[in-house]
Amino acid sequence: MNVPVDPCGRPDVFDLDLTTTSWKRLRKWLALKCDSEDDGKDVDISFLLQHFGSLPRTMLTLYKAISGGIDWDNAVLVLSSVGGWMEYIFSAYVFFTVFCCLNIVTGIFVDNAKALKVADEEAMHHEAMKERQKWITEVAELFSKISVEKDAKLTKDDFVYHVTNSDRINTCFYHLGINTETTNTDELWELFDIDDSGCIDQDEFAIGIKQFHGVARSIDLFKLRKEVREILKQLNKIMAEGRRALVTGWSQGPHSEHLLVGSDAMSAAYLAQLGIPFGGTPVVLRPPEESLQEASKVSKSASATSQAKAAAAPTSPSGKEGPPDGRNFLEKWIEADLAPQGRCHKQKVLTRFPPEPNGYLHIGHAKSIMINFGLAHKYGGECNLRFDDTNPDTEETEYVEAIQEDVAWVCQALEMEKVKKGGKPWKNEPVYASDYFQQMYDFAIDLIKHGKAYVDSQTPEEVQKNRGGGANNLPGVDSAYRNRSVEENLKLFREMQEGKHAEGSMLLRAKIDMKHPNMNMRDPPMYRIRFSHHHRSGDQWKVYPIYDFAHGNEDAIEGVTHSICTLEFENHRALYDWFLDNCTIVPSRPYQKEFARLEVQGAVTSKRKLLRLVKEGHVTGWDDPRLLTIRGIRRRGVRPQGIKRMADGVGVSDRNSTTPFEFVEECWREDLEPISKRRLAVLDPLEVEIIDYEKEELIEGITDLPEQSASSQPSCARTLSFSKKIFIEQSDYQENPPEGYFRLGAIGSEVKLRHSYVIKLVEVVKDSSGRVVKLKCSHDSSTRDVMPADRKPKVIHWVNAKDCLDAEVRLINPLFLPMPDPVPEGKDFLSYINPEAMVRCKAKVEKALSNCVLEDRFQFERLGYFAPDYDCFTEPKKLSFNRVVPLKESADKKKIEGKGTASRKEEQQKQMAEKERLMKIPPQEFFKSERGDEFSAYDAEGVPTHDKEGNPLPKSSIKKLAKDLEKQKKLHESWKASK
């Protein structure tokens, strides 16, 4: 169609400089378009949609023109009806383009009341994703090429075939943190968006990868963008059929919460299913001509903000703008508090790490240590190490000392100046909850005096029964003792402390609301009676504070500015705030935020389970290298820098997810690769006699690291000896080699010895039982320092039999085999201990390893990364090495590694069988049958609403569960359709 001339005489209003074109000018043009309705013909909007589909300028520029300038640090925008239906289309499309494609709006508010909260830029520009961009590009290009070869008709079956059979595609997915052998191919297929030409949209794929790993927060951007594309297709289809489409903005009126496309609707409830939460205080940005003064203020604010950002942003050597903002939500919270007008302006940040001294720390604690100490260090503050010793029954001094040592070791990775100078990473000395017992007791007295706490004499069974909850979240029942007088409560509480009442006979409870929907707010206990001996205060106290009461009070006493907890405390935050807001004598007012703790696939971190493993002798102690305790991974050989790399790679999120152990191993591997000294070790020795070699010689100038030079760095070089007899790996010879095996097999086969000669198999020597005990080979004397020009034999490692050392090399594998959840009746977690979790090899190693020190890390060539065990340095000394992490091994080496030998086909068959089993489960019964022990109540569709203790689930958890149920519905429907 011919594009009408706009009122200002320009042939196409969208060719105008939008930074100088007013909204009024655009509105007049749109009004002309709407007037064309009078002839009864619908307007073809395809040109408009096509233009925006290939917009040569950013929608940010357009929106700055429309709004008169937006403060993008605090941006909110209200879309409302200004003219005819054409403008609705325009405003709706702009809304979705900015919201879904550029992800630059901090908040978009609906009806001046409801808010759509957008995932922050950290979700879209995560540091780990930037490092993986080359793999995203390669995967997209590989499948685009395959799709083009299929005439742009890449099917799911084609996709599964290539994922199953292409090593290169598997390698790419591996670097993206996806194990294709264990991941459902349906999930992988959903990551791709293929256009009409058969090409993969890399931006869509990148977002899909983030969604797959649970990096994006609050909103399913990937799914929403697909929905917007469908809406636009429907608009053009409706126009082509000669029908009129009504697309409303979010404005007041009969369609105030709907975007209507023909008869279809996208409601606020639907958007909520995509993960968009509602809430917040709205701010209206008015068009410039309606409120020039307001727009001017906003424009100045935006200008000042952008100038400040430009001044502070790092620039590249070329002078271009630095990388996108990669701050996580905790960093943004702290920076907002430290800014002028912020809550903590001109204050020093104070965080805290508050372990209970009733066990050893594990890998999950390592992330929390990195966050609490790392954020304090980043913002020039400090972090308290606080021992939450409020339970005298389980705490021991042994744990206190171990925790201090573990925290100090992990924090070495933060490069803190005071640690470099021999100090500890925490502020002053460690602090204890027991230091504040008197102050917290006084806080409790204050609440009693103000009628906000009472002594309850119900039995424990009555207290539990009267809390309510359960499947229907029944309201609680007030205790008969709830209305005791202040005087009686004070008297009874003092008697509790004096030991005049038996354990379990009384509780001090907060008087809040027994009908509160949050179970934690139903008159929670504050103090209980305990006559146990405390490891620090002795027998002074007979009443001990409950953690929920102690937590916020400890923060307030210490002056903590930012109390950072894991997500299980999200429902407890209301109680944290209530205690601080209702006690009149707390010295400060801290605030709490929660992050998702580290959950590693297959890791057992329960203190109860770890204690059983140690006490029952399934492991050698808390520092057994098979355990994922901090002591265990330290002995294993992981460095603090490897833990930091892992924590940085996982990132900081407010949504729980499970991290594959392969990703953890990759982080450790990336830390060790550049610093590990290269050494030769043979784990399963097979003797080789070189029959035509009689002399002995030294091979000099072998450097510790590949990039080093022996001439310029002689201290980094070593000498290897070579003689007639050497040892190689048993696996480097196979009597009946499979196809594709290029090491020693048939007589006449060759290999190149690392740093030495090419040898050729001449004879195989066997013992009386037929077992191969020795190989006899010849050597090519011209190949010591070079690869032969006419052939390229495989390179293998070896050690000299004359001066090599005996050593025990321990191959550390996962402690547990895959464990079903829940564990079947009649079994417990110990039934799944991996018998090959530690494979002990009687190895032969080069003599240079005799001088190793505890801090050394080695790459045993072709084998993996290893560290000296403590046994090397304690009497009686024994040369021992633990494998920290393997190399990326080929399939023929898996047996000795204890990894099993299941083929990809077998794994896929298992996955298919599991999928067929799940398909038959009706959606309403899915969570009840598969995870029934986790929940106590469900809605009409079968989505869990309450945990096993009757507490309401967080909205974020319910949304995630609803998405899982939606997948189950589709799975079940496909099964029904196939019957």
Catalytic residues: 356, 597, 607
**In sequence order, which residues have a C-beta less than 8 Å from that of residue 957 and are 6 or more positions away?**
656
| Separation of alpha carbons 702 and 784, rounded Å | 13
Residue owning tokens 């979010």: 250
- As a whole number of angstroms, the distance between CA 92 and CA 265 comes to 13
> Which position has the token pair 């547990």?
816
What are the residues whose beta carbons fall under 8 Å from the beta carbon of 453, sequence distance 6 or more?
444, 447, 489, 508, 509, 510, 511, 526
- One-letter amino acid of 698: L
Q: Please give the structure tokens belonging to residue 962.
A: 């609803």
Coil, strand, or helix at residue 443? Answer: helix
> Is 356:391 a contact under the CB 8 Å cutoff?
yes
- Beta carbons within 10 angstroms of residue 113's beta carbon: 12
The two structure tokens encoding residue 564: 């950072």
- List the alpha helices (DSSP H) in 810-922: 894-897, 904-919
Tokens 């907060």 sit on residue: 510
Other beta carbons less than 10 A from residue 67's beta carbon: 20
Distance between CA atoms of residues 27 and 38, nearest Å: 18
**d(Cα 40, Cα 561) in Å, to the nearest integer?**
65
8 A C-beta contact, residue 14 and residue 58: no
Measured in degrees and rounded to the nearest 5, phi and psi for residue 302 equal -65, -40
Cα 827 from chain centre: 30
End-to-end CA distance of the chain: 50
Crossing angle for the helix pair 133-149 and 167-175, nearest 10 degrees? 150
**Closest residue by Cα to residue 220 from 277, 136, 135, 279:** 277
350-353 and 725-729 as β-strands: parallel, antiparallel, unpaired? unpaired
| Residue 565 CB neighbour total at 10 angstroms | 19
Which residue do the tokens 């929660």 mark?
594
Structure-block tokens of residue 63: 């929106």
Helix (H, G, I), strand (E, B) or coil at 232: helix
CA dihedral 749, 750, 751, 755 (to 10 degrees): 160
User: In angstroms, rounded to a whole number, what is the distance separating the alpha carbons of residues 238 and 258?
Assistant: 18
CA atoms of 78 and 105, how far apart (whole Å):
12
Question: Do 593 and 564 meet the contact criterion of CB atoms below 8 Å apart?
Answer: yes
Q: Are 385 and 606 in contact (CB under 8 A)?
A: no
DSSP state at residue 469: B
Is the torsion defined by CA of 323, 324, 328, 329 positive or negative?
positive
Amino acid at site 974: S
For the beta carbon of residue 186, count every other beta carbon within 10 angstroms.
14
Separation between Cα atoms, residue 537 and residue 436, nearest integer Å: 11
Kindly state the greatest CA–CA separation across the chain.
104
877 in helix, strand or coil? Answer: coil
The C-alpha atoms of residue 672 and residue 865 are separated, in whole angstroms, by 7
Torsion of CA 821, 827, 829, 832, to 10 degrees: -90
Residues 6 or more apart whose CB falls under 8 angstroms from that of 172 comprise: 135, 138, 139, 142
